[in-house]
Amino acid sequence: MFTKLMKLFVMALAAGLFASGTALAANPHFIGTPSATLVGFNVVVNFKEAGLGSNQNIDYVASAEATATYQCVNSGGNCPQAANKQDDSGLVTAEGTFSSGKNGQVIGSLTLVPPASTLTCPGNQELEIVAVHYSAIQIADTTNGVTASTNPQEFSATGIVCP
């Protein structure tokens, strides 16, 4: 009985040391500077992180401050002279969970979209984006508390041009 208990104790102790050694050996860090690319009115944040340990699920959040201008446009592609234009701004985010695989790395991308508009267009008019601006773009590994800014840090795009 004593030998069985001793074996269980030694196995538990060894498992604890192994687990803590694994945690200490992990060194989560982004490889290079994460990049950001403007695709239409969206920003795609690309990143590579290593030092995560094998087959771990890692949660990420891409974020940026963003301002978008929206306008109602009629079916002829014209902008009515009404006061139906609106700026919407705030923090935009995109979240995702990626597996580190057997090599302890994640290569991924998340897409940020402009802030949503609450503007309602009348009749035969449709909501269109006039312009968008993103700044302070970054990616965060929220599982391990690692954050990095992208390069570049800022983008602007223009859509339909209204007077």
Which residues of the chain register pLDDT less than 50? 2-25
Residues 6 or more apart whose CB falls under 8 angstroms from that of 156 comprise 131, 132, 133, 134
Q: What is the pLDDT of residues 52-86, one digit of tens each?
A: 999 999 999 999 999 999 999 988 888 877 677 89
φ/ψ bin of 113: left (φ > 0), alpha (ψ from -120 to 50), beta (otherwise): beta
Measured in Å, how far apart are the chain's first and last C-alpha atoms?
88
The confidence score (pLDDT) of residue 20 equals: 39
pTM over 0.95: no
| CA 93 – CA 72 distance, rounded (Å) | 25
Structure tokens at 27: 């060194």
The confidence score (pLDDT) of residue 163 equals: 59
11-30 burial: b if 16+ Cβ within 10 Å, else e: eeeeeeeeeeeeeeeeebeb
What the chain holds in terms of domains, given with CATH numbers, is: 26-158 (2.60.40)
The confidence score (pLDDT) of residue 78 equals: 81
